[in-house]
Every structure is written in C-alpha cells, then in structure tokens.
Amino acid sequence: MLSPSLAQEIAGDTSAVIGYNVLITDADAMVIGSGDRSRVGSFHEASVEVMRTKEAATHNASQAQLLRGVRPGVTLPLVAGGQAVGTVGITGTPAQVRRFGLLVKRQTEILLRESVMLRSRLLAERAAEKLLTDLASYDPQVIEADSLVFRAADLGFDLRLRRIAVALEVTAPPSAPRRDLALVRSEILRTVREVFADPQDIVAATAPGRVGVLHRLASRRPVDSVTLDCRRIIDAIAAQDGLAARAGIGEPATTVDGLHDSYQDACEALRLGARRPHGPLVHLIGELRVHQLLSAVGHPARTRLLDSATAPLRDQPDWPTLRDTITAWCESGYNLVRTAAALHIHRNTVVYRMNKIEQLTGRSLRDHHTTLALYLACLTDHLTTRSSGEA
C-alpha cells in the first residue's frame, strides 16, 4: 500500500530532521525506504514479529545481532484499516530513539492514509472518465447496455436514474496570459463537483479544458435549473482562474441509449451554440434543434437554400447586420421591441433594416413562409461562415 518512492521520501526527510536513520518496510518485511540507502531491498527480520503482534519492539546491540538485517533501535507497526501493512524503524540506542518512535509512526501513517486516499480518488476519477467515454461512444453492436449498467453500479452509479448530460468547455481568453489547461484541471473539476455535488453525479475530464457531466435530475427539479448551475460554474471559473467557459446541455434520459444521445446532444449544443451571434454561454440542445438539423444537411443543399433566399442581401456590404436582424426578428417572435432589445438598438433602426430587407428581396417579412426561408438561410450562413473561420 505504501509505494517505494513515497517510503524513500518519508524515510530520507525524517532521518534528516531527527538525526537518526529511519527505515520503512513493506508487508513482507522488505526495506523499501531508508535514510541509509544501502539498506533498501534488504530483509528486516524484526518487522515480521512486529507486524504479527502490532506491537512496537526494541532491540539492543546484542539482540539485533541475532536478527537478520536488524540494527539496534526501535521498530513500530504501520497500521492502515486495522491491518499492519509495514513497519517503521529508527536506528540508535533504544533509550535515545524511543522518544521519536510514536511521532515518526503517526506521521508516516498520516502520509500513508493520504497516499491511499489520493490513489483511491485517482482510480475513481479514471473509472468515471472511462465510463463517460464508453457512454459517449456507445454502440449497441459492440457492447451491451447491461454491461455498462453493471459497471456503473460497481462504481456506485445507477444509470437507470433520470439524468441529463452537460458538456463544459474552458478556454483562456485571448487577452489573458497563455495557460496550460492541464495544470488547472483539478481546480476546474473541483469547481464543477462543488455545483454538481449529488453522489450520483458523474463528473469527469474528457480532454484538456473539457469536462463531461451526467447529472442526476431529481424528479421535481426542472431542466432550467441545470442552466443556472452551469452559469454558476462559468462565473466561478472566471472568478477563480480567469478563464472563459461555456456549457452545452442535452435532454433528460433514463437508459444507456438515451444517455449516449443526451451527451452527444450536449456536445452538439456546445459546438452549435458557439456559432450563434450574441448568444448566451449556456446552450440547450432543445433551442438548437433547427441548427442541428441544418448542420446535418449536405453542403450542396445548404448552399442552394442560401443562394435562393438571400442572394440580393448577400451582395450588400452590411449583409452580416441584415442577417443578424432577420435572425433576431424570428427568434424574438416577430416582435419589434424584443428584436430591438436583442440587438441592443433602437426600435426605429429595426424598422429601417426590415424595410431595406423587404425592398431588396421584394418580399414581406410579415409573410411567414418568406421569413422562415430567410431565417433558415441565415442560420445556414452562420453555420457555414463560423465553421470556415470567417467573421
């Protein structure tokens, strides 16, 4: 349970502090750490009896000569979970080193427990990462859903509970100093887990700067509450680490197939939401289904829609402004006041732009068929220009 590298670090540092050689053995009474490195790898016979009885033992010079690999001093058991997992010994006259015995033993056991806890936490994190990865790439032709359910149960997660997927992306703002996101990985994960703190929440890093969550959604908790949770995370990451974050949210699910779709949708929401002008930082797939559909349509069909519906407008130097006006008009329920608020402009400016659009296209924006075609064409242009890296 105690790694040789940690044992050597403890033994070396402690020896330097107390002025007496400290050695640490494993459960087989083999020395795995010592201030005197020449003793590493040797057998320490006194440790066998100390581990059996879980009682400290002292040996003077004559007693030590009768035991293999033992020198005068004191040997104490290292106990973890009620089991002796090794020993710690201090070399010297028993009367002189006995006073250090209990202190060194307790300090070593504390470090041992911390090491075990850290290892356990890392193993749990890796298992959660593997589970989330397998759910994200789930293919019923390759693996049975029940095997994932059983594996999740071994980790303490019930995949039959109602859950919703969240995909988070963290980036360094262009104005901020470049930072290696891998270095702040644990801080980001801690922030996410503080918000998604239900024992059934599955939280795992999926890539540098990317975190996936399968959040247990309580029966009375609305999906909108998850949006607020994501905003809290985004604000906390910005305040603590000076980083920018966005989130994509899928839809509730209670099966492995559904969780797979929910997570894929959350990732799609994250991708598509980044292409919306003046969009929020939290993107719900339910609000992006049209964008998702258009994104799945072949490029030739999208190009024909764009050409047929917006050709007169795209020749104008202010085409991006006209495009954003059409998009805001449709997404604001064809309401002038809400459209102006969404664009942060005066109502009369909206009227001016709409009149210009109608004159150029020869069609009324009050006609829903015309407006719908223009809206879909504008969304298509957003998807096309943003994916190609244009403004």
Strands (E), 97-193: 163-171
pLDDT at 103: 86
Q: Using one digit for the tens of pLDDT, what is the confidence trace for 221-260?
A: 788 899 999 999 999 998 887 888 999 999 999 999 999 9
Percent of the chain with pLDDT strictly greater than 90? 53
Residues forming beta bridges with residue 165, ordered by sequence position: 214
Instruction: Please state the rounded mean pLDDT for residues 322-345.
Output: 90
Rounded to two decimals, the pTM is 0.65
Phi-psi category of residue 242: left, alpha or beta, with phi > 0 → left and psi -120 to 50 → alpha: left
Q: At what angle do helices 145-154 and 94-136 cross, to 10 degrees?
A: 160
Q: Using one digit for the tens of pLDDT, what is the confidence trace for 59-109?
A: 999 999 999 999 999 999 998 888 899 999 999 999 889 888 888 888 888
Q: Which tokens go with 90? A: 């201090």
Cα→Cα distances 28→31, 53, 84, 108, 300, Å = 9, 15, 11, 18, 70
Q: Using one digit for the tens of pLDDT, what is the confidence trace for 114-154?
A: 877 777 777 888 889 999 999 999 999 888 999 999 999 98
Q: Using one digit for the tens of pLDDT, what is the confidence trace for 266-324?
A: 999 999 888 766 678 999 999 888 888 888 887 888 888 888 888 889 889 999 999 99
